[in-house]
Structure 1
Amino acid sequence: MALAFDEFGRPFIIIREQEQKARVRGIEAQKANIMAAKAVARILRTSLGPKGMDKMLQSPDGDVTISNDGATILEQMDVDNQIGKLMVELSRSQDYEIGDGTTGVVVTAGALLEQAELLLDRGIHPIRIAEGYEMASKIAVEHLSNIATKFEFSSTNIEPLVQTCMTTLSSKIVSRCKRKLAEIAVKAVLAVADLERRDVNLDLIKVEGKVGGKLEDTELIEGIIVDKDMSHPQMPKRIENAKIAILTCPFEPPKPKTKHKVDIDTVEKFESLREQERKYFDEMVQLCKDAGATLVICQWGFDDEANHLLMNRGLPAVRWVGGVELELIAIATALLVITGGRIVPRFQELTPDKLGNAGLVREKSFGTTKDRMLYIEQCSNSRAVTIFIRGGNKMIIEETKRSIHDALCVARNLIRNNAIVYGGGSAEISMSLVVDAAADKIPGVEQYAMRAFAEALDAVPMALAENSGLQPIDTLTAVKAQQVKEKNPHLGIDCNNVGTNDMKEQNVFETLIGKQQQILLATQVVKMILKIDDVITPSSY
């Protein structure tokens, strides 16, 4: 694209390959952008809430994904429109920062843009709309802090954390097991959390899945599970008080880095070469034995000669273990931060103080499928744990992994900030009432944008009611009137037909920072879209 001037000095733009491109300006550009964003939000709207529908997505290579996680749906969708991609980034940002609320943030942004379109039709300038939205979002976020509730928890009292994680899992496929999965997620987070610093490293939690069994068989392992088995079938399947050598060097003779060739023309030369190779293997195994190792875990493979020698010397071994698993094993089996459980790159550097310690290492078989996995348990440092998911097929396991990830993120956020607001659309309704009341005190055109913001906040409880089979408008107006009458910000949509609208009684919680981030992110993206007034795209879009 280049800027040029005609003979009268008036500027005009020259676009490369402009015959293949289209250009939209002004109000038309803004409406086109709003239409694209609304289309994406409309797709996710039906996935919101505990009764939300799932989406089936098929990749170009035929893989099928079934999910109602907003970030996953948008990640898998093939979105060509640039504004559509911006909505994908919005959902991804919410997932990265908070881990939950990925559907709600897109639905909120879509509702804000829908209301903005009505204001544009009335002749209000986009900048004034954006300023009004900014004022309204500040009022809404501040009101969230006012209605938030704080609770205390500890390693012995995890019930508040479990209840909040259950709210997250209630909208997933795994909702029938939400109590057990929520407890597993909370215990996993507390195992790796630093409560004094209010920090959680989720990288220390490994989520592993295996097809077969029931969802109820999902368990938390205080240690590491590796999807490998012993390298030789005759090696022991159970090792107690294991001393683990964690190696990144292969069991094989050293290879020269230059081009080389060996001519073997006699039996004696072959025997000499074979003896030299056996000597190398023997030395490597002996170095492991001298260090006191009772189990070798190696990142690389080794051939039958080394495998047979390890078995004869009584040294169980596991091969082809990935780098991430090696690091987790090293963290879990370290006695202290400085000593024990060190990853060793050379056999000569292997010493007793670099060995990892585990109370029990066992190989477990699953039914008649001959699938085997290695359990490393009773570790000296339990700051690395594994959530082992079972399910009837691959799709169930993958969706459970996504659900568990959301629950882990919610528990992490509560450790960082233990403030909660009540769900079921109650927070949105309360914010809507406050913003609507605040708009009456604003003298400028921004008051129309603030009322539109309040109207857009009602989109979330309305979608919850609609997805639950209720009359959306009747249900929303009834709850709104009840909130005003009783001055109770905990009243929301009774999606599960429990018989009460009080989300406090239903134990439906959401994290304060998650809800605030949702409002702020949606407002920022909407402001960005409203300020775009010139779009140059390929005409095929």
Structure 2
Amino acid sequence: MALAFDDFGRPFIIIKEQEQKTRLRGLDAHKSNISAAKAVAHILRTSLGPKGMDKMMQSPDGDVTITNDGATILEQMDVDNQIAKLMVELSRSQDYEIGDGTTGVVVMAGALLEQAERLLERGIHPIRVAEGYEMASRIAVEHLERIAHKFEFSVTNIEPLVQTCMTTLSSKIVNRCKRSLAEIAVKAVMAVADLERKDVNLDLIKVEGKVGGKLEDTELIYGILVDKDMSHPQMPKQIEDAKIAILTCPFEPPKPKTKHKVDIDTVEKFQTLRQQEQKYFDDMVQQCKDVGATLVICQWGFDDEANHLLMNRNLPAVRWVGGVELELIAIATGGRIVPRFQELTSEKLGKAGLVREKSFGTTKDRMLYIEHCANSRAVTIFIRGGNKMMIEETQSEAYMMHYVWLGISFATILSSMVAARLKFLLAHLLLRPLLMDIQELNRYDGVDYNYAIRAFADSLDSVPMALAENSGLQPIETLSAVKSQQLKENNPCCGIDCNDIGTNDMREQNVFETLIGKKQQILLATQVVKMILKIDDVISPSDY
């Protein structure tokens, strides 16, 4: 390495090995890309399943996160390789679309690429492999449609949805409370779902957390929860049949927009100015009282004089409420956000059956509950925990549940189709009885396609194999026994008994997965693998 200077005297470094560095192309580039993707898949492989191992991640600031959720792990990993970033985006897409299967989809994609690498070494063209994978994925999706079971549910019978949601929480940190959290999830979705239109507005669901209490104290509130309290300690703590004025204008005199100044050199002038300011406060409070408001929620703060005046006029108020919370309150109560006092009318007031301030134990923490709103479909999940780390982790799982509701409850509401949790034995269940049939393979012209379809079937063994390994079982022996049982009983719901319950029938274990979730997992993994197989050169800015 040597130091040189340009025409302007700026130093730059000359690396001696620079001429020896070459860019990978062709088969070498394919192997390099596959190796990077496999590295990400191997990291998540041990976290798959209900007994998967946890990962400890430390941020640059020193914050520590312990989780086994695939989406959380990949989101916090510092990934520089471009192909590895595609795997991160794959998990993120699965999380966004469905909310579950974020680890399984990466493990499946890594197994597909591992099998593809063997085909490439045999001289099969990457395009042939990619097209063969596409054919195999279509066969798998068609087979999923045939073996899916239909579960009927209604507003009064939500048990099938609860069982499905419990499955998604089996491998999470919150699994000890999975029954109660699953019920909260389903009830929240049913509260915001329009079954006649078959539509779910998940924006009406809010997730809030507070340190203190136990995870079992997590509750579902049919209304809005605001992490604020009344602006004055002597204001009433409970208001029934509240009419709420939602304001984005502050309780303070208007500030002059000019550069002029007011000189106050006598007591009379000061008294005049004070009376004028008090008149502004009186007018603002009186305008709220005239339209019939019994509670004021303001985005901005107000000083002690306005606060004292509000208390004397018996008008409770809440200040410093965020804009997002104001929107949720407006949606829930049916009110309108008012930017100026002159525009405040009785028609713009929100209505709530009960507004109460709740304190937690001996701490000073207090929160505001807005319940029995005009739009009763708005709900809030209030998470409790012993420390901040537990709250944040549970909140991340709750946001995961937010998308699980989309993938499970929303899809089930639309189609009522729930497939048994096929990832416990996806390979033999989906493709082996079908793809290993010579007549089936003869449907496709070309030996290359046949090899690719067989490789697709073989790669699906990685998911049940990883589940058996992570559960402390003998992987090959366990997988062979379950395959034998499936052929003997002709039961498409056989899987790996990860929890040592004593049966391999996933229906008896109440282990379910939505049809749309599993289809999305197969299709996303196949599409990303096709994309990686078609990349034969990576060009960086230094190559220009």
Secondary structure, aligned partner of 2:494: coil
Retained in 1: the 8 A contact 2:426–2:461?
Answer: no
**Unpaired runs of at least 5, structure 1:** 1-17, 335-340
CA distance in 2, matches of 1:361, 1:19: 73
Residue 146 of structure 1 and its aligned partner are, at CA, apart by 0.7
Percent of pairs identical after alignment? Answer: 80
Retained in 1: the 8 A contact 2:426–2:460?
Answer: no
Counterpart amino acid of residue 268 in structure 2: E
Retained in 2: the 8 A contact 1:21–1:537?
Answer: no
CA distance in 2, matches of 1:435, 1:401: 43
Counterpart amino acid of residue 408 in structure 1: W
Q: Give the 3 Å change call, closer, same or farther, for CA 227–22 of structure 1 in structure 2.
A: farther
Residue 399 of structure 1 and its aligned partner are, at CA, apart by 2.2
Residue 408 of structure 1 and its aligned partner are, at CA, apart by 2.5
Bigger Cα displacement from structure 2, 157-166 vs 60-69: 60-69
Retained in 2: the 8 A contact 1:150–1:420?
Answer: yes
Counterpart amino acid of residue 533 in structure 1: D
- After TM superposition, the structure 1 = structure 2 runs for residues 65-214 of structure 1, keeping only pairs within 5 Å, are 65-214=65-214
Q: What is the aligned counterpart of 1:414 among 408, 412, 415? A: 412
Corresponding residue of 1:500: 503
Q: Give the 3 Å change call, closer, same or farther, for CA 22–412 of structure 1 in structure 2.
A: farther
Residue 526 of structure 1 and its aligned partner are, at CA, apart by 0.3
Report whether the alignment pairs 1:216 with 2:216: yes
Counterpart amino acid of residue 135 in structure 2: M
Corresponding residue of 2:43: 43
- After TM superposition, the structure 1 = structure 2 runs for residues 50-65 of structure 1, keeping only pairs within 5 Å, are 50-65=50-65
Residue 429 of structure 1 and its aligned partner are, at CA, apart by 3.1
CA distance in 2, matches of 1:302, 1:428: 64
Aligned length: 518
Report whether the alignment pairs 1:487 with 2:490: yes
The alignment's C-alpha RMSD in Å is 1.8
Secondary structure, aligned partner of 2:507: helix
Bigger Cα displacement from structure 2, 122-131 vs 415-424: 415-424
Q: Give the 3 Å change call, closer, same or farther, for CA 419–21 of structure 1 in structure 2.
A: farther
Corresponding residue of 1:534: 537
- After TM superposition, the structure 1 = structure 2 runs for residues 388-427 of structure 1, keeping only pairs within 5 Å, are 388-404=382-398, 405-406=400-401, 407-409=404-406, 410-423=408-421, 425-427=424-426
Counterpart amino acid of residue 146 in structure 2: N
Secondary structure, aligned partner of 2:351: strand
Secondary structure, aligned partner of 1:515: helix
Residue 260 of structure 1 and its aligned partner are, at CA, apart by 3.5
CA distance in 1, matches of 2:116, 2:415: 33
- After TM superposition, the structure 1 = structure 2 runs for residues 238-257 of structure 1, keeping only pairs within 5 Å, are 238-257=238-257
Corresponding residue of 1:292: 292
CA distance in 1, matches of 2:396, 2:518: 20
Corresponding residue of 1:429: 428
Retained in 1: the 8 A contact 2:111–2:460?
Answer: yes
Counterpart amino acid of residue 350 in structure 1: L
Q: Give the 3 Å change call, closer, same or farther, for CA 254–154 of structure 1 in structure 2.
A: same
Corresponding residue of 1:473: 476
Corresponding residue of 1:358: 352
Retained in 2: the 8 A contact 1:22–1:539?
Answer: no
CA distance in 2, matches of 1:401, 1:132: 41
Residue 29 of structure 1 and its aligned partner are, at CA, apart by 0.4
CA distance in 2, matches of 1:357, 1:374: 15
Counterpart amino acid of residue 410 in structure 2: R
Retained in 2: the 8 A contact 1:109–1:522?
Answer: yes
Secondary structure, aligned partner of 1:220: strand
Corresponding residue of 1:11: none
CA distance in 1, matches of 2:491, 2:275: 84
Bigger Cα displacement from structure 2, 20-29 vs 269-278: 20-29
CA distance in 2, matches of 1:528, 1:260: 65
CA distance in 2, matches of 1:186, 1:180: 10
CA distance in 1, matches of 2:346, 2:117: 70
Residue 76 of structure 1 and its aligned partner are, at CA, apart by 0.7
Retained in 2: the 8 A contact 1:222–1:382?
Answer: yes
Counterpart amino acid of residue 411 in structure 2: N
Counterpart amino acid of residue 461 in structure 2: D
Q: Give the 3 Å change call, closer, same or farther, for CA 403–104 of structure 1 in structure 2.
A: same
Retained in 1: the 8 A contact 2:426–2:464?
Answer: no
Secondary structure, aligned partner of 1:225: strand
Secondary structure, aligned partner of 1:65: strand
Q: Give the 3 Å change call, closer, same or farther, for CA 253–531 of structure 1 in structure 2.
A: same
Counterpart amino acid of residue 151 in structure 2: F
Q: Give the 3 Å change call, closer, same or farther, for CA 472–157 of structure 1 in structure 2.
A: same
Q: TM-score scaled to structure 1, two decimals?
A: 0.93
Residue 539 of structure 1 and its aligned partner are, at CA, apart by 8.9
Counterpart amino acid of residue 301 in structure 1: G
Q: Give the 3 Å change call, closer, same or farther, for CA 195–273 of structure 1 in structure 2.
A: same
Secondary structure, aligned partner of 1:242: strand
Report whether the alignment pairs 1:346 with 2:310: no
**Unpaired runs of at least 5, structure 2:** 1-17
Retained in 2: the 8 A contact 1:192–1:200?
Answer: yes
Residue 428 of structure 1 and its aligned partner are, at CA, apart by 4.1
Retained in 1: the 8 A contact 2:111–2:459?
Answer: yes
Q: Give the 3 Å change call, closer, same or farther, for CA 186–21 of structure 1 in structure 2.
A: farther
- After TM superposition, the structure 1 = structure 2 runs for residues 229-308 of structure 1, keeping only pairs within 5 Å, are 229-308=229-308
Counterpart amino acid of residue 415 in structure 1: I
Report whether the alignment pairs 1:517 with 2:520: yes
Corresponding residue of 1:5: none
Residue 443 of structure 1 and its aligned partner are, at CA, apart by 4.7
CA distance in 1, matches of 2:415, 2:344: 43
Secondary structure, aligned partner of 2:381: strand
